[in-house]
Structure 1
Amino acid sequence: MLLTVAAQATTSHLQPLISDLGLILMTAGIAVLIFRKLKQPLVLGYLIAGFLAGNHFDFFPSVKDTHSVEVWAEIGVIFLLFSLGLEFSFKKLVKVGGTASVTAITQIVTMVVLGFCVGQLMGWHKMDSLFLGVIISVSSTTIILKAFDELGVKTQKFAGNVIGALIVQDIMAILMMVLLSTVAVSQQFSGSELVMSVLKLVFFLTIWFIGGIFFIPTLLKKAKDLLTDEMLLILAIALCLVMVILAANVGFSPALGAFIMGSIIAETTQAEHIEHLVKPVKDLFGAVFFVSVGMLINPDALIEHAIPVAILTLVVIFGQSISASVGSLLSGQPLKQSVQAGMSLSQIGEFSFIIATLGMSLNVTSDFLYPTIVAVSAITAFTTPYMVKLGAPTAVFLEKKLPRKWVRAIANYSANTEAIKTVSTWQVALRAYLFQIVIHSIIIMAIVLLSSKYILPLVEGSKFGHGIAALITLVLLSPFLWALSLRRIAVNEVSELFENRKHRGPIVLLIFFRMALGLFFIGFILNNFFSPGIAFIALIIALTAYFLFPKQLHARYHRIERHFLSNLNDREIAKEQKTRKDLTPWDGHMATFDIVAESNLIGKTLEELRMREKIGINIAFIKRGEIMINVPSRNERLFPGDEICVIGTDFQVKKFKKYLDQNEIEPEENVTESDIVLQHLELKNESFIGKSIRESQIREKTNGLVVGIEREGRRMLNPDSHLILEQGDILWVVGDKKLLTSLSRS
């Protein structure tokens, strides 16, 4: 009897949950099939499925337990952001460069201000207007990438700028979510609170990223042989949820924690595998999230707010296009590419829904905002492919209609952009010092906070508890205090600056500032654990130990740094080894090609063409009439009639020939005789041992380039110029035949 009652109670509790989930997935599945057939974004299919399954549509079965759907939707946001983090990687943000950053930041700032002003003009509350500005400032990665694939423009140059801008937008959206949460809680625009929120975000982002990179790749590598696909999926989701809990506990959005953990795992060698395993989970809960968004569409509210929907649609399409185009122009891109990039970014999508959901969960936005944003997103998703197609014709139209003076000014500005982007020696040194100070200060503060929270309570009751806690803390901090205060950084740049008398003062000031900051942290730690008098004595003892054991601290810090960098670069190293395992210089040969006047490569630098990175070949020389340019620099441009000689394997040369054919260059099959050859040298000269490739001056002595090294059976293609040469290394060098012969005999 009891079992029957219990079973009935369980069934009555589960029935709405199961029937609702079945209804959602069935409706979503049918909608997805239809939208796939119509070649429209699947997100729109999910939104319409949600509208059909919601309570605002009476001619279709409706979801009963909306609270459970909201919980699933929150889980969907977590997995969406986790997957986005897996595709993101903080190193991508560094690599996108100034062009994408300027484009994205110009667009976001313009649209936030424009959205806020439009909201105020329509009579909305300040909080609604603020959320509106942030919502319409972020473009849709999913919709843009789908449009690029369908239109076949993903390989065009403007597409790279767009994708880079989307990466910057993602991280800016995370930052704005944190700031919006702060404003929503305080209900006022306090500058000091916003600054504190940004500093808090930077602090925790840095600690989580450094700690995550230090430990998680190591964990995955150690357990690699033990992990099945099932266990790896469980471990990845567990790590994601742990970071979600950490983020929530320090006052951030759970979505931020998921994004951070995804970006950490993105640096591991198993990132692609984990992304593949997580994708079905993400797709399931992501579908539920977008369906839940569609359930909130109220036709009556849309009819009532039809005018705001129309206004905001025009604001998004024209505002996004113009602001992104201006940002791209400011970054130094040509007019055509700037207009194409701007018009591609003219929509809103996933992050807009997430930010709108944040406003609803905090109860700070009005009910009409959510369905209005969904409608604007749906309309702009439909218009995106047409906007991408119109990019090139619009650019041509503007070139004809704009004053010739403006067009020439834009072209000159774009041509001079490389000179604008150059960084001085002083900027390099200052950037290195600031990076060193900020990173190590954050690490030191984090260790002090952890020590006071976890170590001190354990020993506080004992006689020497404070002394033990202080000693443990100082031991943990010692390598980072040494790196903050005494480590030499930007050595070449600082030496160059120090030779100039007017720069000596600032350099010495920076050195003393670092030392003073290290002393401050030591004093701060000791003062937390002791009375001021005892702290002063302990400070003297600590400083004495500090200066007596610099080599030990140096060695300890570099072990930590090597481990971190190894984990950080593991994925790239593994990918490079996989890509280049069959592309080695010892199988290489030389081939020459003539550049015709109609070539698309005319006027481009070797750095812009990136032949070495894309294909793996090296340029041995460029013959320009009677002039021979041996081992040209990356700033060398190609001109009509140039004869270029490349070196590579059969596979590389074949791939290069195909690349040239696509760019209208006629290759010559025969290899011409040249004084530039590929030759291997066994390293016996003692003057080279222990020096880096750059310090050995092999390039200068052979008028050539080191393209490969064999060391103890290992082969390295295109070695880094900072690689230290060792006894017995075999170098493969492209250079002058006579100079190479002379060097091999020495």
Structure 2
Amino acid sequence: MGHLPKLIEDLALILIAGAIITLLFKRIKQPLVLGYIIAGFLVSPHFIFIPNVVDQENVKTLAEIGVIFLLFSLGLEFSFKKLVRVGGAASITAFTEIIFIIIAGYFTGKWMGWSAMDSMFLGGMLASSSTTIILRAFDELGMKTKQFARIVFGVLVVEDIIVILLMVLLSTIAVTKEFEGMQILFTVLKLLFFLAMWFIVGIFLLPTFLRVARKLLDEETLLILALGLCLGMVVLATKVGFSAELGAFVMGSIIAETTLAERVEYLIKPVKDLFGAVFFVSVGMMIDPKAMGQYGAPILVVTLLVILGKMISTTIGALISGQPLKQSVQVGMSMAQIGEFAFIVATLGVSLRVTSDFLFPVAVGASAITTFTTPYFIKFSEPLYNWLAKLLPGRWVQKLDSYSSSTQQIQAESDWKVVFKTYLRIILSNTIILIALLLLSENFILPFINKRIEHDNLRNSITLIVSLGIAAPFFWAFMAGRPKNQAYKELWVDKKYNRGPLLIVEVLRIVLGILFIAIYVNALVPARVALFVGIPITVLVILTFSNRIQRFYQRIEKRFMRNLNEREIEAEEAHAIENNLQLKNREMRSNMQAWDAHILEMDVNPQATAVGVSLKNLKWREQFGINIVYIKRGEKIIHTPGKENRLLPFDRVGILATDEQIAAFKPVFDAKELLANDDTDNTSIDDIVLQKILVDEHTQLKGLTIHNSGIREKTNGLVVGIERGKERILNPESSTVLEWGDIIWIVGNRKKMQQLIVE
């Protein structure tokens, strides 16, 4: 008997235990995450009554893969545009809550005598609420469509992205053991730079590649490609000093901007569910009941901090953002819990060996308690508001409502603000690209050239030509790219007050651009060469070939914007096709009004008798006098379909006819194929057979066509072949004339075929 690796035995134990416990939790309507955690405890060494997991190291590896796919899936649901669309109210609320709870968590940990690292990780664990738990509670209570729920969803989106950044910061601090403000600031700037760079490069390359390869991407290939991209970004993120989780999240958010996002999300879900289950079970394996009992007091303190701290800080944040008191209280009561991210942050501390053993059971205990209390807090949020409204002085409530109303009535941004934001976007985006190109030149191009060319002047010349040739379009955009919005045009037209400040902005940009060129060139070649050769030549080339560089940059920008807005463009195109179709229908309806005819759209039922039949064989025009003008199939439209075209399920058919013709035709169009009737209800599968019938004096079929013979109706079957002497006719046409001695092969009902022979 072959040797079975322990990992397979452990995986079988983990999945069976997870399945049984989660079935129980579904029955009692509790979060599946807690079910997985309890299943993990049951298969851990701390529970001795059933077999335990043996190969814990390999299970930890599978759990790390689970975290990667969980973050990748979160990125697919996220998208950077969603963060932009969240709005100021949700952002202000989220930042207020997160800053408060992180600081409160840190000082609470220090108050309980914990180390600085344990206290920092505690603050990070408390920063995020559980999207899954809140959504489930809203569904059960029927509050998903309430006004305050929109703010809650926005806060959850902001929380997710901030917690991802916190994980990177915590892991960096844990590894370097440095708490200096400048070091943390440098880490934040480095993180933001790489996030922006990955996003820009990913949006420029990935949607284009997927668009070209779309026809070749079946489900299997797309799944393999998505997983490969995810793990590739994980490797890249770890190579530059960030966490694997960040890389997975970034790649998911990039794919989320493509038109294949929903397909990838659908395909990746089973993989995420499998490895995610292993991760949460592995979390449960770390639970030590003795530690839970020993640290009952810290669990209670952290639970109270989560409930009261999140409730109060979120309510205050909502009030500051301009929400009415009632909505603010409802938002605060909805956010009073911690969820899955607490386990991920706690696991990060354990894997880095920088947190104490007690931190993990504290996180699990607080999460379990707040999970059960969440629905009750949401349910009683309105009664709490009513109590507060009576308790607070009337003038306070009036001032809060007045502040909310005035905040909601803030007017749109001024033209200058819009223009400055556009300038800032141009400068920042091109600065990020230029820094990335400089790093590319220093780490790859320069070493490659230095190894192969010994002559200094030649080496410096080639380095400058290659590096600056790549960077020239972005230097041009940095110094000369102008906003393309209406606000800039309106300011430029107003010469008296606005053109002077705009010219000052342009001059400052050019000066900054030249300084940037100096820094760029000086990093690649010796200072003397940079000062007397590199900088003057670079500026001269950009000025001389300004028009060509501008056109090249505009092509790059156009592709980037096309990829960035690909989903919206595709939706608009589909909407435009639909609108154009409706316009044409109205136009034709108007033109045919004198004929008492119009176009009616009808959807093809999947069970319609017409499905799969060619228009030639349907003969609808001959029988009913109607004309099929078009067939809309998904995003494609078949104009004036020919006689060989066939109708498929869910096609939308445009039919030109009069009211009388439609009335006669509609029952035929809507007719469904009867899968069962009185004659076949009692037919078993064993009664369906392939049987042959001889054309002789008993069957009396000689001289009849298959269609006129009534074989199909009499046997409830199909003629699949005819033997005629030595000739065999497979799937004969219905117009085939039956001859004496033919052997007809029929797939049909045994009893009915016997009756046919008897007749």
Task: Give yes or no for TM over 0.5.
Answer: yes
Q: Deviation string for 1:462-512 (max 9, x for gaps)?
A: 242321221121121111111110112266545655758787775444322
Partner of 1:411: 401
SS of residue in 2 equivalent to 1:283: helix
What RMSD in Å do the two structures reach over aligned CA positions? 2.3
Query: 2:714 corresponds to which residue?
Result: none
1:407-446 matches, cutoff 5 A: 407-420=397-410, 422-446=412-436
Match of 2:518 in 1: 523
2:462 maps to 1:468: yes
Residue type at the aligned position of 1:423: E
Instruction: Report if aligned partners of 1:429, 1:490 keep a CA contact under 8 Å in 2.
Output: no
Name stretches of at least 5 consecutive residues in structure 2 with no aligned partner: 587-598, 602-637, 640-759
Supply the distance in 2 between the matched residues of 1:529 and 1:96 (Cα, whole angstroms). 42
Which SS does the other structure have where 1:488 is aligned? coil
Compared CA separation, residues 178 and 650, structure 1 to 2 (3 A): farther
Deviation of 1:97 (Å): 0.8
Measure the CA separation in 2 of the matches of 1:339 and 1:500: 50
| 1:480 matches 2:474 | yes
1:663-674, aligned counterparts within 5 Å?
A: none
Of 19, 43, 66, the match for 1:29: 19
Residues 403, 577 of structure 1: CA spacing in aligned structure 2 closer, same or farther, 3 A cutoff? farther
Please, which of 541, 545, 549 is the counterpart of residue 549 of structure 1? 545
Task: Give the TM-score of the pair, scaled to structure 1.
Answer: 0.75
Q: Is the 8 A contact 1:23 1:53 kept in 2?
A: yes
Q: 1:540 deviation in Å?
A: 2.1
Residue 153 of structure 1 and its aligned partner are, at CA, apart by 1.6
Amino acid at match of 1:206: A
TM-score (normalizing by structure 2) = 0.74
In structure 1, how many angstroms separate the alpha carbons of the residues matched to 2:475 and 2:422?
17
Match of 2:142 among 152, 155, 165: 152
After superposing the two structures, state which structure 1 stretch, 337-346 or 197-206, moved more: 337-346
Residue 558 of structure 1 is matched in structure 2 by 554
| SS of structure 2 residue aligned to 1:155 | coil
Which amino acid in the other structure matches residue 521 of structure 1? F
Per the alignment, do residues 502 and 574 of structure 1 end up closer, same or farther by CA in structure 2, a change over 3 Å counting?
closer
CA shift, 1:256, in A, is 0.2
How big is the shift at 1:244?
0.1
Q: Which runs of 5+ in 1 are unaligned?
A: 1-6, 590-648, 652-712, 715-746
Q: Bigger CA drift: 118-127 or 555-564?
A: 118-127
Instruction: Give the Cα separation in 1 of the matches to 2:346 and 2:500.
Output: 52
Residue correspondence of structure 1 range 512-661 to structure 2 within 5 A? 512-535=507-530, 536-578=532-574, 581-583=577-579, 586=583
Q: Which residue of 2 aligns with 1:700?
A: none
Distance in 2 (CA, whole Å) between partners of 1:241 and 1:286 is 16
**Aligned counterparts of 2:411 and 2:122: Cα–Cα separation in 1:** 34
Q: Deviations over 1:262-281 (max 9, x none)?
A: 00000010100000000000
Aligned match of 2:745 = none
CA contact (8 A) 2:295 2:362 kept: yes
Q: Distance in 1 between matches of 2:536 and 2:154?
A: 51
Aligned to 2:206: 216
Deviation string 1:386-439 (CA, Å, 9 cap, x unpaired) is 111112222222222211111111111111113446423332222222222111
> Residue 299 of structure 2 contacts residue 365 of structure 2 at CA under 8 Å; is this kept in 1?
yes
Partner of 1:264: 254
Identical-residue share of aligned pairs (%): 51
**1:292 Cα deviation from its structure 2 partner:** 0.6
Q: Which moved further from structure 2: 406-415 or 185-194?
A: 185-194
Offset, 1:183: 2.1
Query: In 2, distance between residues paired with 1:508 and 1:187?
Result: 48
Q: Does the aligned pair in 1 maintain the 2:172–2:242 contact within 8 Å?
A: no
Structure 2 Cα separation of the partners of residues 357 and 193 of structure 1: 24
Q: Which moved more, 1:442-451 or 1:485-494?
A: 485-494
Instruction: Quote the Cα distance in structure 2 between the aligned partners of 1:167 and 1:30.
Output: 32
Instruction: Find the counterpart in structure 1 of residue 756 from structure 2.
Output: none
* Structure 2 residue 343 is the aligned partner of structure 1 residue 353: yes
For structure 1, which segment, 395-404 or 480-489, has the greater mean C-alpha deviation from structure 2 after superposition?
395-404
User: 1:534 Cα shift?
Assistant: 3.1
Change (3 A) 1:581 1:348: farther
Q: Tell me the distance in 2 between the aligned counterparts of 1:542 and 1:484.
A: 14
Matched, 1:71 2:61: yes
- Does 2:237 correspond to 1:247? yes
Structure 1 residues 506 and 120: alpha-carbon distance in aligned structure 2, compared to 1, 3 A threshold: farther
**1:220-250 CA distance string (max 9 Å, x none):** 1111111221111000000000100010001
- Superposition pairs for residues 160-239 of structure 1, below 5 Å? 160-239=150-229
Instruction: Kindly indicate whether the alpha-carbon contact (under 8 Å) linking 2:128 and 2:159 is maintained by their aligned counterparts in 1.
Output: yes
Q: Give the count of matched residue pairs.
A: 584
Q: Which of structures 1 and 2 has the bigger CA Rg?
A: 2
Could you tell me which residue of structure 2 aligns to residue 626 of structure 1? none
Looking at structure 1, the residues matched to 86 and 518 of structure 2 have their Cα atoms a distance apart, in angstroms, of 41
After TM superposition, list the pairs within 5 Å mapping 1:121-140 onto structure 2: 121-140=111-130
Where do 1:448-467 residues align within 5 Å? 448-460=438-450, 461-462=452-453, 463=455, 464-467=458-461
Q: What letter matches 1:560 in structure 2?
A: I
Shift of 1:218: 1.1
